[in-house]
Structure formats: structure tokens, C-alpha cells
Amino acid sequence: MLNVLWLQSGGCGGCSMSLLCADTSDFHGLLRQMGVNVLWHPAFSLESGQECLQVLEDCLNGTTVLDALCIEGALLRGPHGSGRFHMLAGTQQSMLHWVERLCAVAHNVLAVGSCAAFGGITAGGLNPTDACGLQYEGDHAGGVLGAAWRSRSGLPVVNVAGCPTHPGWVLETLAALAQGSLGADALDTLARPRFYSDQLVHHACARNEYYEYKASAHKPSDLGCLMENMGCKGTQAHADCNIRLWNGEGSCIRGGYACISCTEPGFEEPGHPFHQTPKVAGIPIGLPTDMHKAWFVALASLSKSATPQRVKLNSLANHLVVAPLIKKTRLK
């Protein structure tokens, strides 16, 4: 069994809340089936107080093997590097201190959520708590543990980024560790598991027909593509949100909200309102990750000139107003 210890640091607890939405009627049974044993989790476990502290001590002294340490939330280094903005109750020691000690004995360390991975929302603004990720500060390697740090397995911190994370990303990562199949080649350049970060949110987006014709929404309730006017970064965000649907049926875009690229470092401070698309000379600044601007402009112009009337009308409506034309075909 893979022994997992989960601690929450500076964050909202949203990744744990999301994990509770895993698509199963027996969450603990699923973990057992995967070969995962949760030593302690602040929301799932019955132990508290001294019982919880004993679990931590057992991990530190080797009585219990710590296979995977999961940290949710950014690490608060302030004030002045002391970490005393976040103390672990009953210990007179900072969470920063506990995490550093536990990372030293853990076979694998997971940063669950973009706060733990890169700093995220917790590190936004003036960042008075001096919050950062375990091994990243924004997109710069370093963080609390340092760029060169490696766990006992030889891996860096595994950044299961997202705000919040999809329960499938967390469970699949733990399952891969339990099976011994998560190696360095399974992580991308930001140490995110490639099984979800090799995809883009744009992939399988229900609005792709509107994107192809550049038939754009003008207000939140419109059915059209959200990229041109509504701030959607789905063509730049690394995640499989529209392939691996949330709760089996939804995603931010399917719910009418633009993708804000929450799996990427620095998403929390885009430099503009989330619902607006910054442009230069009418051209969005944030283009698809691997498309040259000149090609995008040329293709956008061609696409708009070829947009079917049906797509134009539907893109500016809050429901389907014109259905696809029914015509006789030679399909067999």
C-alpha cells in the first residue's frame, strides 16, 4: 500500500473539496482498490490533536514509511523567513518547519493545486505572507525546497497544478505512484503529470466550431467562442478539462465561464480582468501556444469570411436558434 500523508498549508482547501467530488460512490473503497492508504487528511480522517501529531512523528522517526507527502496550499514563509504566519496547532512550530522535515523523509512529494505548486492565489498581490510553492515561485524554480531538491525516489516535487485540481488528476497521480509507474519522463517541464498537462483545455471544447470560424461571444451568455472578447485562455492552458469532464459532465467553459488558465504559474495575476481579452491593434495578445501570430491573423480572416450564417447567429445567442441544415447525403 502507498502510505499518503496530506497536509493543508496556505490556501482555501478547494482541492480537498474537489477531491470529494471524485466520480465514485465509495471514495475510501476506491483508494483501497488503487493501493492507497491515507495516513491522515484534515478532512477525511477521524484522528485529531495529539493523534494527528503522532502520525507525523511516526513518519519522521521511520516507524511509518511515508511514501507520498501531499501538500495543499502555498507555504507561508513570513514574517522574515520564520514561517510563523502559519503555525501547526499544538506544536509551537511553523507549518513551514514541519513540511521541510517531512519532505526530507518522504519517498515522493506532491504539490496539490497551483498554490502548493507555484504560489497561486495565495501569493498574489503584495504577498504579505511571502507565500510560494514547494519548488517554484511563479514560473521560477526554487520555492521552499530549492530547484535542485529531489525526493528519495529521485523525482522533483510533482506539481498536480490546478485551481482547484480535478479529482482525477490527484487520484491518477497517486495510482501511478502506487504502481511505481510515475517516472521523470511522465512529468512536463514544470513537473506536472503529462497525462493531463500534455492536453490543452481547448481540446474537445464544446465551442470549437465557433472557434474555428472565429464566431465570438460578445457577452457571457453568448454561445460563441470566448477567446476573442471574453478572456478565454483555453488554447494556452495545459489541462484536459474538456476531455476529462468535472463531475462527469461539466467544465468551466461548458458552464459559460472563460478558461483562466489555472494550471499555469502566474494565472492569478494576468494583468487584466479575467473576463477581458487584451489586444493590440484588435489582435488578441494571448494566441494558441504553438501558432505564429501572422498565421493566426491570416486564418482568422479567412475563417470569418467563410462563417455560415447559422454559426454567426448562434454565437450571439444564449441558446441554439438555428439548427444545422438537413440535406440529402450519400452517406451509407
DSSP 8-state symbol, 121: G
pLDDT of residue 327: 80
Evaluate the omega torsion of the peptide bond into residue 79 and state whether it is cis, within 30 degrees of 0: yes
pLDDT digits (tens, 9 = 90+) for 72-120: 999 999 999 999 999 999 999 999 999 999 999 999 999 999 999 999 9
On whether both 236 and 290 belong to a single domain, the answer is: yes
For residue 326, pLDDT over 80 is answered with yes
- d(CA 311, CA 215) in angstroms, rounded, equals 7
Cell of 285: 495578445
On whether both 168 and 72 belong to a single domain, the answer is: yes
On whether both 159 and 190 belong to a single domain, the answer is: yes
On whether both 329 and 212 belong to a single domain, the answer is: yes
DSSP 8-state symbol, 297: H
For residue 331, pLDDT over 70 is answered with no
On whether both 10 and 107 belong to a single domain, the answer is: yes
Domain harbouring 188, CATH code: 3.40.50.700
Handedness of CA 50, 55, 59, 61 (dihedral sign): positive
On whether both 210 and 182 belong to a single domain, the answer is: no
For residue 194, pLDDT over 70 is answered with yes
On whether both 146 and 208 belong to a single domain, the answer is: no
- d(CA 100, CA 98) in angstroms, rounded, equals 6
CA atoms within 13 A on the CB side of 103: 24
Looking at the DSSP bridge assignments, the partners of residue 72 are: 8, 112
Task: Single out the residue in 167, 197, 227 at which a domain terminates.
Answer: 197
Handedness of CA 170, 176, 178, 182 (dihedral sign): negative
Task: Single out the residue in 182, 197, 212 at which a domain terminates.
Answer: 197
Q: How many domains does the chain have?
A: 2
Query: What is the separation of C-alpha 180 from the centre of its chain, rounded to a whole number of angstroms?
Result: 23
- d(CA 215, CA 84) in angstroms, rounded, equals 52
Nearest to 265 by CA among 74, 12, 42: 74
On whether both 156 and 244 belong to a single domain, the answer is: no
pLDDT digits (tens, 9 = 90+) for 34-73: 999 999 999 989 999 999 999 999 999 999 999 999 999 9
On whether both 214 and 286 belong to a single domain, the answer is: yes
pLDDT of residue 291: 78
On whether both 186 and 71 belong to a single domain, the answer is: yes
On whether both 191 and 234 belong to a single domain, the answer is: no
pLDDT of residue 332: 64
Tell me the one-letter amino acid at 227.
M
pLDDT of residue 99: 98
Task: Single out the residue in 179, 197, 215 at which a domain terminates.
Answer: 197
On whether both 123 and 180 belong to a single domain, the answer is: yes
Residue 169: give the domain boundaries: 2-197
Domain harbouring 206, CATH code: 4.10.480.10
DSSP 8-state symbol, 86: S
